[in-house]
Amino acid sequence: MVSYVLHHDPGGTMAATTMPATSTILRCPGCGSARLIHYPASRKTGRSVLGCRACGLRSWAERSTFVNPTYSVEVETEERDLGTEYSGYADSKRVDTVEVAWDSTLERLRQLSSAVDTPRLYDVGAGDGAFLKLAESHGFAVAGNEVHAGAARLAKKRYGYDLEVGDLSELELEPIHDALTMWCVMVHTEDVDMTLDNCNKLLKPGGTLFLQT
């Protein structure tokens, strides 16, 4: 197996480089296998989940693992990209308890916006769009953003959503939404006050912000 590291250069392109032979060989803390995946790192914290192809264990990877903690992801072939790797990461997090939490949250948000026939919901860090799809089934008109372009491509491929790509601070924010949701996003932010201020700019007067972290 040949390992590559995808990294983002100043010109805005993704390039694959072979890892040097002297690089430390990382192994799964559970089974000891070297068949590992680095899922996309948080743009804010540089933290990433390390996945083992042998036993399925997910664990935190050290920041020093990455060539570039903002964009790097280990791959087996040049054909893989951030969208492919994010697909595995998103699916690994999707368990029944998560969908139950999503469903109960959407029921409550729908009650809080019952005065509106088709309330607008904006999901910050929408990932592959699965939560937005469920929100639509609860009667919401949906939109969202994602900092990872690969995740946004996956949301388009799976559900047809055109997510805004970028941090809230980089986007044009209009106060047109009745509800705003943030699932496991705040832990990745450096300036909580600024993030909440930007969320407020997306909400109508009297709108509801739900966050879980």
Class in CATH terms, 4-80: mainly beta
- Report, as an integer, the average pLDDT of 15-24: 39
Q: What is the pLDDT of residues 168-195, one digit of tens each?
A: 999 999 999 999 999 988 878 888 899 9
147, burial (CB in 10 Å: exposed 0-12, middle 13-18, buried 19+): buried
CATH of domain 96-212: 3.40.50.150
**Domains 4-80 and 96-212 agree in fold:** no
Number of residues that this document lists for the chain: 213
Least confident of 71-80, 110-119, 136-145: 71-80
How far apart CA 175 and CA 207 sit, in angstroms, is 9
Q: Is the pLDDT of residue 54 over 50?
A: yes
How far apart CA 59 and CA 77 sit, in angstroms, is 22
Query: Tell me, what's the pLDDT at 46?
Result: 67
> Could you tell me the residue ranges of all domains in the chain?
4-80, 96-212
Tokens of 47: 């933290």
